[in-house]
Structure 1
Amino acid sequence: MKFYFYFLNFILNLLYSINRIFLTKIIDMKKKLLLIILAIGFFSIRFLFAQDKAVPEQYNRSALTYMLLDNGGKYSSDLKQAIEKVNIPEKFDDNNLSTRYFSSSESPKTIKSTIINNHYPNDIVAKWFDRKDDGTLDMTIIHKRGQYNATDQDALKAQASKLGMAKLKDAGQALVNNSHILVLSYKNIITMKEHYDKVDKRRRAIANKTKKKFKPVKRIKNGFMGDVTAYLYKIDFNDSIYGVLYDQLWIYDDDDAATKQKKKELFDKTQFPLKFVMKVNGKADGSQYNPGQILAPKVQKTRDELFQQLVSTGGESAIFMIERKYEPFRVKVPVYTRKPIGAKVGLKEGLKFDQRYFVLEYRMNDKNEMITKRRAVVRSKSVIDNRKMATGHSTETSKFYQVAGRRVDEGMLMQQRNDFGIGLSLGYASGEIGGITGKAEYNVSTLLWTFTGKLIRIKQLKLFAEFGSETKEYNTPILVGAEDISFTRYDVGISKGYYFARNFSLTLFGAYGMEAASHDDFIVNGEETDLSTIYLNFGASLTANLTYNVQLFGTLNMYSVGDILDDDGNTLTLSGNDATYTDIFQNREGASFSVGLRLEF
């Protein structure tokens, strides 16, 4: 507990020092904004003390069956053809059936009834037990999956027991109860051309309303895009169901012909229990860059391949959302090494580069109940290929770096906790270019790692878009006397973050943007106009965690501006020479400093 009060005191002292050096002007001009930012930040400190629910320590692989909900439509045949070729992610055991689609009205209850009436749970159980045409069952698949599911620790325990590796094979029986069916319903599928047409329609309407020049969207991609709604179901294969299977449905060698036939028919009629788990929504992308674009593939994909991509990304999007809510889909593994932080988890568990994990510790609460408390937050920086049977002797680990929390020790539990990779910031800047600022960031590290076939590994690589707004008084050569000018700026850029301590990071960035200056009396060649310039902004940002996903930041910006332009993009002239932005707005470039809050999602 003392740690957090020391940390809070440090943040207060840091803010006070920054204020004395850089922000006296901000306090005088924007007290209310800063007070709101600080109030939100310090209010978020309470989340540092929030207790997590008890998290089960054991993680077992789940098996997954993809099913397409086919209710006709323009692209029905494309989707049905695509679902036949889509693979289950490697994190899951593949329980796909020969039948990949069905029709049903779209409600969890009706879909469940359709699945049961079509005996899909029956077919999945038959796949687990490698059921033959004569109705006989065996444990081959269960034993293989049991061994593949085992960790090094499981293997060591098995080797030390009398049963040996047979113990791991038998452990596979528990995996049958982790059988899930993911029903995918694809909607609102449009071509990229239709998407661009919609964007242009909106832009044209805005241009007409604001009397601005219409600028069509750049049409850089082709293919398809759409939405997906996914329904997750689980086969409830508990101990009592196992009892029925072995007592009434399993065909033994010493059964007579009549008994064998009776058991075979009874299995065919059995309805294994099915539970609805949840419904999630996501996006599906079946597009590619046009020839000539930097990211265009060497060979353009066919229509069939694009629909296969659309169905695949829709399924992955749904799984991502489920993993955020459903504990059995969250990987859990103990910390194996502390310096560097390492764990025996990798491609077999679906680990991705720069993926987020919580580090948990078990505690007893005041009611003498076992709870888990978040100790730290880490992200992966290397991913091992562990897609093989555990031997108990491997020391290979994926490595992680810490982004929040306290010291991590061996044996603590790591829990997969997906994030969207999005950061939102709000602050205030002081300097020649200042005012209210806002930024939206997206961490592309995982995307880049995946896109390059796991070759490029750059942590905390982000693309961002930023805006700023302020009103400031200037004495310009095109107005009489000093006037308040309204400035609005937008930029896009790239940044690279470095976590040099558990709760502190440094980010370097570069951006390209445009600032517009507005005043009712800006007249050029007899017409009202807004003035603008193109600028570059380079700088660095220092962050300090208030909670694992809320940060206080201070940013140093260095702006370099260009010529001053009118609404048509023409450079203004003064005394026959091209005018720069600073010719009109004196000294409006150079350094500025901003502070504020940053939230991660």
Structure 2
Amino acid sequence: MALLGDAGEELIKNSFVVVNDFDYVSKEEVAEKVKAGLGLLKEVTELVTDEEIETDLADETVTTFGKGYVVRTTSYLFQLEWNDSVAAVFYNDYWMSEGSRDNARKQAFENSDIFKLKLVGWEVAWADLQSTIYTKKSEEELITIASLRAIDAVIAKLQRKYEVFRTKTPLSSIDPIGAKIGLKEGLEKGDKFEVLEQVMTDEGRTQYKRKGVIKVDKDHIWDNRFMAGEGGDDTNPASQLGFTTFKGSGKFYEGMLIRQIN
């Protein structure tokens, strides 16, 4: 119970649910519409100028676009409502200590309606996956890749917009200062992070104290997006290291947490 009352409650009140709504648009569908527009333009031009336009532009449009998908993702961010009243009911009526089992409490927990979600906000992101006529990937694979990239993009936007949803990431290296976050999390040139040290209060609760500020090294941002290795730049130092490096100084050590502040 004591352990749950400390770190456990921190996790409970920081429980989130993300609901994703996807819209898929085939690039071939877009290309056909563009091709139809170019064909109409060709006909109008010939009528006005009384000259035959010799061009294969419209016919080559689909080939130029290639196959692939554009995915529009709208993500809705919800957070568990956790307060003293809910906590009191949870501990008094539903909680079972390790090694004990009370079917009545279990049934009461499963049938409870006191746990609710509140809408924090939403964001929209796009993922554009190009696949040329030479690719061997199936439509199912293309949709999967585009969907995962769209999710990564919209989650990064949610974290940037809503402070409560920002994650804490441990430092994985000190020389150079580095952490295993990158383009997947939406890192950009100029992003700043506070370095936090975990301390215990006199009441036995966990707190975080700022020990410094570090800044993303624009030349060493790790590309950790889904399938980034396919066609990616393996010569990027960050790719070889497996993490993003930061500029800054302070008495840091591996395992200290960083959290974005801008």
TM-score normalised over the length of structure 2: 0.60
Structure 2 partner of 1:233 = 78
1:334, 1:302 → 2: CA distance?
37
Name the CA shift for 1:320/1:168 in 2 (closer, same or farther; >3 Å). Answer: same
1:399-427 deviations in Å (ceiling 9; x for gaps): 6366xxxxx43269965479xxxxxxxxx
Structure 2 alignment gaps of length 5 or more: 196-212, 225-240
Taking only aligned residues, the RMSD between alpha carbons, in angstroms, comes to 4.7
Q: Which residue of the other structure, out of 120, 126, 143, is the alignment partner of 1:283? A: 126
Give the SS at the match of 1:270.
coil
CA contact under 8 A between 1:342 and 1:398: conserved in structure 2? no
Tell which has more relative contact order, 1 or 2 (C-alpha 8 A, sep 6+). 2
CA contact under 8 A between 2:192 and 2:260: conserved in structure 1? yes
CA contact under 8 A between 1:359 and 1:378: conserved in structure 2? no
Query: 2:227 matched to 1:379?
Result: no
Q: Which residue of the other structure, out of 196, 209, 214, is the alignment partner of 2:31? A: 196
User: Deviation of residue 276 (structure 1)?
Assistant: 0.2
Q: Which residue of the other structure, out of 305, 310, 313, is the alignment partner of 2:146? A: 310
Structure 1 partner of 2:17 = 181
CA contact under 8 A between 1:358 and 1:414: conserved in structure 2? no
CA contact under 8 A between 2:79 and 2:117: conserved in structure 1? yes
CA contact under 8 A between 1:354 and 1:381: conserved in structure 2? no
User: Between Structure 1 and Structure 2, which shows a larger proportion of helix residues?
Assistant: 2
Map residues 341-490 of structure 1 onto 2, 5 A cutoff: 342-343=177-178, 345-347=179-181, 357-358=191-192, 378-379=217-218, 381=220, 400=245, 408-410=248-250, 415-416=259-260
Name the CA shift for 1:379/1:359 in 2 (closer, same or farther; >3 Å). Answer: farther
Q: Which has the larger radius of gyration?
A: 1
Map residues 185-334 of structure 1 onto 2, 5 A cutoff: 185-187=21-23, 189-207=24-42, 215-216=57-58, 217=61, 218-252=63-97, 260-271=102-113, 272-285=115-128, 288-291=131-134, 296=135, 300-331=136-167
Name the CA shift for 1:414/1:245 in 2 (closer, same or farther; >3 Å). Answer: closer
Aligned length: 214
Name the CA shift for 1:315/1:269 in 2 (closer, same or farther; >3 Å). Answer: same
1:247, 1:397 → 2: CA distance?
46
- % of aligned pairs identical? 23
Give the SS at the match of 1:379.
coil
CA contact under 8 A between 1:224 and 1:285: conserved in structure 2? yes
Structure 1 alignment gaps of length 5 or more: 1-138, 140-165, 362-373, 386-395, 403-407, 419-601
1:208, 1:233 → 2: CA distance?
52
CA contact under 8 A between 2:193 and 2:261: conserved in structure 1? no
TM-score normalised over the length of structure 1: 0.29
1:397, 1:318 → 2: CA distance?
23
User: Deviation of residue 331 (structure 1)?
Assistant: 4.4
